Amino acid sequence: MSLTRREFIKKSAALTAASYVGLNLPLGETERARGEETEKWVRGTCRLCGVGCRLDLGVKNGKAVALRGVADSRTNLGYVCMKGMLFYKLIGHPDRLTKPLYRTKKDQPFKEISWDQALDIAAREFAKAVKEHGNDSVAYYGSGQAQTEETYLFQKIFRAGLQTNNVEGNPRLCMASAVGGYVTSFGADEPIGSYSNIEKTNCFFIIGSNMAEAHPVIFRRVMRRKLDHPKDVTVINVDPRVSPTSRIADIHLQFKPGTDLALMNAMANVIIEEKLFDEKFVSDYCVFKKQEEKEAKTVDFEAYKEFISEYTPEKAAAICGGNITPDIIRQVSRTFAQSKGTVSMWCMGLNQRIRGVWANNLVNNLHLLTGQICRPGADSLSLTGQPNACGGVREGGGLCHILPGHRPVENDKARNQVEELWGVPAGRIPPKPGLHTMALFSAVNEGKIKAIWINCTSPAQSLPNVDFYRKGMRRDDVFLVCTDVFPTKTTELANLVLPTAFHFEKTGVYGCTERRSQLTPKAVDPPGEAKPEVWIAREWTLRLARELKDPVIEKCIEPFKGLEEGWALPKAVWDEYTQKLTKGRDNDLRGATYEVMKGMADGVQWPAPTEDFARKGGTEIKFVRGIDPMADSEAKDDKPFQFYGPAHADRKLYVWLRPHAGAAEEPDAEYPFVLSTGRIIDHWHTSSMTGRIPELMRANPYAFIEVNPKDAARLGIKPGDMVEVESHRGKNVLPAKVYEGPIEGMVFVYWHDMDEDRMINKVCKDAFDPISKEPEFKISAARIRRVSGSVPLKPYIVSL
Amino acid sequence: MPIGGLVVSCGKGWEDRVMPKILELPGVEVHGSNGKGDLVVVVEAETSNLLETVVEAISRVDGVLTVGMTYLNFEDESNPKRPAILP
């Protein structure tokens, strides 16, 4: 690069940054244009968290050469985190899978084979399983990182083609409790409001989320709001661990892990006792619900008041411990209720719990009691972990109990409607939901699943109590197909590994936290023989139909035959999904066509029934007449809010009577610590991608265990010492980080490390929420001991 | 040589304390400030590895709250080789 050109690029970099903060630099457009000498900029979405940051990928000579944030995007306002900026390194990375690989037995080395051979083998093995063991002996396990077109197409083939609802995805491990919370509280999945509430709110209630590391760009918006209005905005951070998120908090509530249900009930109690609730909102829109046996019973306000009166601030403070006092509970309750607008944000700290749905309900309760929803600056906003957990899996039918368009599998009418829309015979989709994730991998262990397709995820590392479930995946009578971009702990257990195109090497849609669907078109060619998943699914299905001699299987991909894979094929899949399956549903995306999204800085928030409405961005706040078109079209009365969500026929919002409940496994004399896990800013999930970016790997080459200084002093642990953390299930040995992060009695380990000695999911327990079926990663009983002083460690990434 | 454009945010009034510290780091230029605690910064480094090191160092400067990346040109590194840090 010449000096002159470098100067131009530097000016361009400065101009881009300056434009985001309203600063005019003395540089002309000509200089800027010369600095941006890429052949084209292709606008897409980052894939390394659920925020949905929009960025432009600069392409020159068929290669990615530059990245910039999209300033007009309503998701990131132009900002991108370091992890997001470096993801381009995965495009064309030398470790990429580039050829189909096969072996008959899992202790054999892989052999390279052709796509024809690979697809024939996959078809033959799935057909064999179905013929010999029945339709429910096969399964699909997908991902919140797969594009919507991929999830939608795979689930269609499995449900209508192979006649099984064994369709699951890794969002079961992260977002299922939020789904359960939204559906049971509001009658509809996904947040009511948008990120735009961040710039309008006066109180942030951040609970169970280290958003500074897990969602850094959204955290930046929160921080900016606080810094710009230091006196008018209060940040309340609720977490047993002091995290980087806590540094902007006015109040940090630190408590014993697993006691926050008592805390939130006590807040509700204060809100009732001090008459801080919105009587009109509650009277107009809410009912109170109590779960009894198998049925939810409606109770009156007095019954709720009596129930909640048990949770006095004094009682909750005693349960919670830490720095929680009755006075601080009263203070945060008042701030929450009396703020002009309160936005709650939470993530895995509430979701990955034995009572994750209840925890979600209790946050939602606070918003319902105080009327802190459906208006600017007020929302109950569950932060999504993955870029397409909402769009693909929650909306596109990627879980065992839901069909596309938020339709429950067990609902006959909904199921028959889907069959009709797909043009397959009535009764083709089985009425019984399939196996949820933990049940599915238990069935793998038991040899009941004979063929499983794992797409874009690595359960051999991401499942809790992972050693237990890897036993099943190792079985030679379980045929395991992996579609992925890199070798992972799961490809190590596969029979067939199929190389896939990466982000920007294929076209597709991601739907982020705020109900916004955003298009990422293909910008560069995938390496070697890697292919988009929609092509793989289609070609496999053609062979499967022949193997099983079943024309209905072929019918599933009939509309997509012969289409070019870079644009026409995913577009046809998206069109079928949106125009047919979301029509009239609460996630109506008919207006969000490829043509509309391609012309936008960001994307479309559903419901968006028409293209004209979608072009403006869609629905910023659901259920509000004049803002949400379905609130008008579905209106039943003159009230300003119309809660038409599909799960509550009575159109009411439910305030739930949920008692405090602790963890499934509390510390005891033998295992006296609480082990919790989470993310770190530099890595993503199982680090199969970020572990291959040296800048990120150097910043955090291996996991460590955070120990409170008081516990460390008591156990003779010094910074850098090797510490064994052990539970009933397994153990890790990790270097110690001694600091005032976790509360005394708690240790914390990030979960990205692939090394067998530092893979913390071997230690985590696999008990799961009885409603959402989401495992309680966040709390396991454990013991720790110093093993040795510091020892040199090496980073580890799976290779073939 | 990768070039990055950043917005470095510190508290309002902290600019004068943060800016000299940032400018001590290699390859760093400050192009302006909006008076609200946001600095427009450009970083040029030999490799993206070094660039990330500088960005990390900026984030550790006393008074810096966040570092927001807005632009990255990596044209010279568009043919990635297997990183030395990996086994």
Query: A697: which DSSP letter?
Result: H
Chain B contact set for A23 (CB, 8 A):
32-34, 38, 40
| Mean per-residue pLDDT, B5-21 | 89
The Cα A606–Cα A645 span in angstroms is: 13
The Cα A317–Cα A329 span in angstroms is: 8
- Around A381, how many Cα atoms within 13 Å sit in the side-chain half-sphere? 34
Q: Is A9 on the interface with B (CB under 8 A)?
A: yes
What confidence tens digit (pLDDT) does each residue in A632-650 have?
999 999 999 999 999 999 9
Question: For tokens 């870029």, what's the residue?
Answer: A387
Query: A299: which DSSP letter?
Result: E
**pLDDT attached to residue A25:** 67
Chain A contact set for B14 (CB, 8 A):
none
Q: What percent of chain A has pLDDT over 70?
A: 97
Q: Could you give the residue ranges of the DSSP H alpha helices within A157-239?
A: 176-186, 211-214, 216-228
**pLDDT attached to residue B2:** 85
What confidence tens digit (pLDDT) does each residue in A668-702 have?
999 999 999 999 988 999 999 999 998 888 888 99
Q: Can you say whether the dihedral through the CA atoms of A592, A596, A598, A603 is positive or negative? A: negative
Please tell us whether the domain made up of A101-173+388-395+434-567 is placed in CATH 3.30.565.10.
no
Q: Name the pairing type of β-strands A407-408 and A402-403.
A: antiparallel
Q: Say what the pTM is.
A: 0.93
**pLDDT attached to residue B47:** 86
The Cα A598–Cα A518 span in angstroms is: 9
Q: Do B71 and A66 make contact, defined as CB atoms within 8 angstroms?
A: yes
Question: Taking the C-alpha atoms of A451, A457, A458 and A459 in order, what is their torsion angle to the nearest 10 degrees?
Answer: -60
**For the purposes of burial, counting CB atoms within 10 Å of the CB of B13, is it exposed (0-12), middle (13-18) or buried (19 or more)?**
exposed
Residue spans of the domains in chain A: they are 3-90, 101-173+388-395+434-567, 176-383, 673-788
**pLDDT attached to residue B87:** 39
In total, the C-beta contacts within 8 angstroms joining chain A to chain B are 173
Look up the CATH superfamily of A3-90.
ADC-like domains (2.20.25.90)
Q: Do A797 and B86 make contact, defined as CB atoms within 8 angstroms?
A: yes
Q: Is A701 on the interface with B (CB under 8 A)?
A: yes
Please tell us whether the domain made up of A673-788 is placed in CATH 2.40.40.20.
yes
**pLDDT attached to residue A36:** 54
Evaluate if residue A2 carries a pLDDT over 70.
no
Q: Do B86 and A694 make contact, defined as CB atoms within 8 angstroms?
A: yes
**pLDDT attached to residue A381:** 98
**pLDDT attached to residue B65:** 84
Q: Hey, do A176-383 and A673-788 end up sharing a CATH topology, with the first three levels equal?
A: no
Residue A478 falls in which region: left (phi positive, over 0), alpha (psi -120 to 50) or beta: beta
The Cα A436–Cα A25 span in angstroms is: 55
Q: Name the pairing type of β-strands A234-238 and A251-253.
A: parallel
3 state DSSP class of A355: coil
Please give the residue of chain A at the shortest CA–CA distance from B73: A66
Question: For tokens 């496994």, what's the residue?
Answer: A665
| Mean per-residue pLDDT, A58-68 | 90
Q: Is A667 on the interface with B (CB under 8 A)?
A: no
Q: Can you say whether the dihedral through the CA atoms of A43, A45, A48, A52 is positive or negative? A: positive
A23, A85, A795 member nearest B85 (Cβ): A795
**pLDDT attached to residue A525:** 97
Q: Do A10 and B29 make contact, defined as CB atoms within 8 angstroms?
A: yes
Look up the CATH superfamily of A176-383.
Dimethylsulfoxide Reductase, domain 2 (3.40.228.10)
**For the purposes of burial, counting CB atoms within 10 Å of the CB of B23, is it exposed (0-12), middle (13-18) or buried (19 or more)?**
exposed
| Mean per-residue pLDDT, A98-116 | 98
For residue A167, name the pLDDT band (cuts at 50, 70, 90): very high
Q: Which region among A14-28, A340-354, A423-437, A569-583 has the lowest average model confidence (pLDDT)? A: A14-28
Chain A contact set for B9 (CB, 8 A):
220, 223-224, 227
Q: Do A219 and B56 make contact, defined as CB atoms within 8 angstroms?
A: no
Give residue A240's identity as a one-letter amino acid code: P
Q: Do B52 and A86 make contact, defined as CB atoms within 8 angstroms?
A: yes
CA distance A598 to chain B (A): 21
Chain A contact set for B69 (CB, 8 A):
69, 79-82, 84-85
Please give the residue of chain B at the shortest CA–CA distance from A228: B36
3 state DSSP class of A727: coil
Residue A645 falls in which region: left (phi positive, over 0), alpha (psi -120 to 50) or beta: beta
Question: For tokens 């072929």, what's the residue?
Answer: A554
What confidence tens digit (pLDDT) does each residue in A242-254 have?
999 998 899 999 9
